[in-house]
A and B are shown apart, each in its own frame.
Chain A
């Protein structure tokens, strides 16, 4: 089931009513309901792959208890290895099997050795990259003694499969989400309204911005040889807004739905395109993934390499970004995308000002950026856009060709013959930028908790809903479902 579908808008009210009206005093029954609802939500897409989620749940539930029970470091490590191998094995088989076979065969072919081979026809189970990371972090945290395992299997299974965040995050940590399954829930009108508002904002970003950008971007990336450099560059910029609106829109809906049930997810986006350097960007874009990679990949590596000072930190960062690239997709273009982000950190790490430049913005600190930071924001945005060429192209060869096409056009001065985007793109992207700039210290773009006038709030809702109905594009799936 996807959030922007009719099915979901029937499903949600049913679960909501059963949760708050029928089971309002029974915490355990509420959890059971959420678990069943989550499995229905996932099974709607393909019930066969539910078994993978259940398997991953059982493994980590059991491993968590075993790690906690044992004091012997060797035994703890052995149990942890089971969790990591199992989850990465699942991910490896379903996501990377063909990629490794193909790359292997290509390597042999390139040295003149012809190999016959069959690659399997494997379907990627939706959300597998997200929930395997979530369950793995549970066992990792227990092994680092930062978390105690739960004995409540239902609560744990719901934590793994909770439908608002099952298929594309935010990748929640047990330390934040799990305790919420044990806390008595009281319906809070303001929280529910806030959740509905955040869903509305997410739908606007998804349906009005992302889905209207999609045809324009698809056409340019498919037929890039027909277009001028100017159009190609514009296509990449429009893609930047498409993917942001798509993914952060999805996240807003997920966080909003969770609020309807009295749950609080961690923030996943913090106006990333207002970042003033690349390190700042990664503290504000897909925060739940970057903090996951930070805690379980970067930090252990950097600690291991710490005696090599800045070189060690760079190496750890670079490897982390390669892994991040591979996480996004089984393709060399994603690995190059990650590698480029890693390279962009060179000036940040090796600049003379050792500390102050890196740490201007923490995840939760207020966005104090002013218009004076504008040049830095544009530069950071341009760097991110450049990497999107690799991210959006279907493979590395296409990405390189697209780069060549842009450079050739610049040399032959073929820049100004620009394919004008749809009026809805021209109109609503600047609206998005303006609204987010004005709201940049708030939790999300439509956060109106400080607006006291009821009339004004309803006028804003009315306008937004009208815009969605009038200018919304035909529903499309979310980009991040493929990862």
Chain B
């Protein structure tokens, strides 16, 4: 009996401890959790969200996961109907799967009720981050963080007379920001293994990562300008002659040539962080990366300020930049839906959006972007507008992960591992993608 009493007492004490621990949180007001990737803009969002807490009394908790693990971790969370996240700033390609599988709350009624106009946001971001099916007025997110792939360059190196002179002698033109992909490669080749200030530097840090989405997000910046298309605009999912067109083949060959000629040694698995490391350490003249990192790079004491310049992904046959960025959604399994929706309402306001941009987040609100002074607010602001005007996104289908992994494999096999031909890689890609669409009943 004594044993049972002891057990009962222990259980009571334990229960009281657990309940007691959570009691103060309830007394101080609700807490909601926002999930996103761990990167510079996330820190800006933490700062911004203090205003929300001050205004509503709802505390904010953040769950930030590094990019290479972000999709794995968060999609696991959604698929297991986890309650960790009340708000999710999920990648643009997740929208199809999250909508069809009921992970996100549909926001149309809420927008109507609260007077939030989706037309206040840049159309490309609405299509990319909020709509599913694409082109239909069904909204599952509010555009939160506009982003596209762009380039940074060493402005100080470009300005050196001896370098400029040598470049002009070699290429018959001034060393300026490249206007075409071919010019970009010329510049990268020019800087490759050049000795600057006693140190060997290299041409360009580009995306070559194999594990998650890296090389796909990089190679598309060459494919789009060369004329690659995902499908026949008149017949959805018809990929023959579009994915593997002659132009697409040229684009893929170009990316491989750029990788072979102009990247630092051992740069076979590099993505955002590796690019930042290479640029910040003064190793490369050019860096492919997301606009999201540009505010941080501009502030960098070693390579920022006057030493850094920015440019939009150059055109070739046509214009095109890979879309990045995310929308903010309310997770359907959240027990704090009202508070999460209140956050969306607060975040959608123009004042919040203006502050978001001033803190280093990329607002998608027209009220911010169409401000005549916007272009002067940061050295990369004008380029951001241009880039967002030419963005193309990867498939946002529910099976996007399968489509992405197929492309990761085909492209990495060809570009980095030197296997097969560009045409063979793109033909194989059509075969992989066709299989996925057939399984999904779309073909």
Does B bind A? no
